[in-house]
Amino acid sequence: MKLKTQPVHERVEITAVSAEGKAIARINNQVVFISGAVPGDVADIQIIKKHRRFLEGRVVQFHEQSPTRTTPVCGHFGTCGGCKWQHLQYEHQLKFKQQQVHDQLVRIGKLDVPEIQSIVGARHIYNYRNRLDFGFSNKRWLTTEEVKSGIAFDDRGGMGFHISGAFDKVLDLKECHLQGDFSERVRKFVRQYTSAHQIPYFDIRNHTGMMRSLIVRTSSTGESMVIVMFFGNDQTNIDQVMQAIHAEFSEVTSLLYIINPKGNDTFFDLDVYVFAGKDHIMEEMEGLRFRVGPKSFYQTSSAQAYELYKITRDYAGLTGEEIVYDLYTGTGTIAQFVSRSAKKVIGVELVPAAIEDAKMNASLNNISNCTFYAADMKDMFTAEFMAENGQPDVIITDPPRAGMHPDVAVCLRDSGAKRIVYVSCNPASQARDLAIICEKYHVTKVQPVDMFPQTHHVENVVLLEIN
Ligand code: SAH
């Protein structure tokens, strides 16, 4: 229920942050979630929505600004959903992430865990991403000022990030500080070129238009991949756009396009066409080389991925004799990273294209003790699978945000592995899965890592040892 005429609560102190990154205050003993505020702020708050167990509020007026604040670098801060914590000093972002892990595992999850290690911060707190996906829409998001101005905007096209809660609208980006100069130049060029040449933008409601999305991937080796996703299949338009990008950015090592007539943006099931260059880019880590294709996942911060993998390898405690399972292996990066210290490694991953890359990478790196399977974990990871591939000594698991299927968690619990290293990008789902595994294991180490500065997201590595 929306409440438009609710009273304003004066001089409320903001005291905490929630797992979703929103600020929290208590009003009349009820928890209120507030966007745009940080702990230490004092503000007048109006309740805008009531839920069963909490309220949502908005800031009417600030009285005191928290000393933990800093000036956001991006002009889109507050509108764009991307970097919700730009107004928090980095050391405080880290503090709240540490707190989030504690809250999820200990306070909410009620797990018995040892002292949580201090979070590993990132050296680069801007321009750290190696991938950004920009969407096109023929209805860009209008700012409050634009709406108030009363001006009728003829060209409503926009390109940028989707606005949460408005699936058909995108924020027309003017700047982004997440990937760096090259990505910015490509984005601006494609936006200007397609607008100047009137290549129609995607209309998600009516399913018309050409320009659907732009993906820019950069890598630690200096290579880059640009993927343009079209909705329509007008080859003249396609060639024109691709040729223009090719002429402007001859340094792009992999220039690709996709025609996607589907309702959603995923392209696992679609053909990817090479317009110029190679069909992949190369990443490099500790002398290992990884081929990353357009459909493959690679950790979005290459530098922090290295920190994460080192912790994972350290927790795995390998001597060279172990059979290791790397579950949700993606392109098999962790599997290969630990392979020199293991007897053999078994990797499992849902996306067949990622497994093709994993196999190719292993042979490229002269690694012969890794075996990879493409399958849904919940179907493949069973007692029979372990019997066939060898009793695991150590299991590394790195599931997506939703965590593991309960059957997978049960199978891990019953695996008999000496150690389980659980790498997670969502401590809430991790805590839920750990509750199952901890029926036969106990947590001996917890190490949060910051992979995503300026956001509330936190990565967390947990070591479990068998009881
Ligand atoms: N460990 C890898 C990838 C982690 S991301 C790395 O560090 O790069 C999580 C991976 O889980 C993705 O590659 C995703 O495709 C895969 N995945 C998601 N659901 C899955 C499922 N049900 N079964 C197997 N793999 C799955």
Of 2.70.150.10, 3.30.420.40, 1.10.150.20, 2.40.50.140, the CATH number of 3-69 is 2.40.50.140
pLDDT at residue number 141: 83
pLDDT at residue number 35: 84
Compute the distance between CA of residue 309 and CA of residue 285 in angstroms, rounded to an integer: 10
Nearest-atom index, ligand 1, CA of 299: 8
131-282 shares the fold of 92-125+301-466: no
The number of residues making up the chain comes to 467
pLDDT at residue number 154: 67
92-125+301-466: in CATH 3.40.50.150 = yes
Return the H-helix or E-strand segment holding 305.
helix 302-316
Compute the distance between CA of residue 194 and CA of residue 187 in angstroms, rounded to an integer: 11
Angle at 199 between CA 193 and CA 202, to 5 degrees: 115
Compute the distance between CA of residue 311 and CA of residue 27 in angstroms, rounded to an integer: 41
Radius of gyration for the alpha carbons in the chain, expressed in angstroms and rounded: 24
User: CATH assignment of 131-282?
Assistant: 2.40.50.1070
Determine whether the shortest distance from the Cβ of 447 to ligand 1 is under 6 A: no
Angle at 399 between CA 363 and CA 128, to 5 degrees: 75
Give, using CA atoms, the residue closest to atom 16 of ligand 1.
Answer: 328
Taking the centre of ligand 1 as the mean of its atom positions, its distance from the CA of residue 83, in whole angstroms, is: 24
Compute the distance between CA of residue 280 and CA of residue 55 in angstroms, rounded to an integer: 47
- Among 267, 292, 297, the mutation site with the greatest number of ligand 1 atoms within 8 A of its Cβ is 297
Compute the distance between CA of residue 111 and CA of residue 95 in angstroms, rounded to an integer: 21
Q: What are phi and psi of 357, to 5 degrees?
A: -60, -45
Taking the centre of ligand 1 as the mean of its atom positions, its distance from the CA of residue 59, in whole angstroms, is: 39
Question: Which residues does the annotation mark as catalytic?
Answer: 425
How much is the pTM?
Answer: 0.91
Helix, strand and coil in the chain, % to nearest 5: 25, 30, 40
Angle at 200 between CA 198 and CA 201, to 5 degrees: 125
Determine whether the shortest distance from the Cβ of 296 to ligand 1 is under 6 A: no
Compute the distance between CA of residue 23 and CA of residue 33 in angstroms, rounded to an integer: 6
What are the residues whose beta carbons fall under 8 Å from the beta carbon of 3, sequence distance 6 or more?
Answer: 47, 48, 49, 50
What are the residues whose beta carbons fall under 8 Å from the beta carbon of 242, sequence distance 6 or more?
Answer: 228, 255, 257, 275, 276
DSSP 391-443: --SEEEE---TT---HHHHHHHHTS--SEEEEEES-HHHHHHHHHHHTTTEEE
Determine whether the shortest distance from the Cβ of 297 to ligand 1 is under 6 A: yes
The domain spans of the chain are 3-69, 92-125+301-466, 131-282
Determine whether the shortest distance from the Cβ of 333 to ligand 1 is under 6 A: yes
pLDDT tens per residue across all 467 residues of the chain? 455 578 899 999 999 988 777 899 999 999 999 988 999 999 999 999 999 989 999 999 999 999 999 999 999 998 888 898 999 999 999 999 999 999 999 999 999 999 999 999 999 999 999 999 999 999 888 777 777 787 777 678 999 998 777 777 899 999 999 999 999 999 999 999 999 999 999 998 999 999 999 999 999 999 999 999 999 999 999 999 999 999 999 999 999 999 999 989 999 999 999 999 999 999 999 999 999 999 988 999 999 999 999 999 999 999 999 999 999 999 999 999 999 999 999 999 998 988 999 999 999 999 999 999 999 999 999 999 999 999 999 999 999 999 999 999 999 999 999 999 999 999 999 999 999 999 999 999 999 999 999 999 999 999 999 99
Determine whether the shortest distance from the Cβ of 459 to ligand 1 is under 6 A: no
| Block residue for tokens 């093709």 | 356
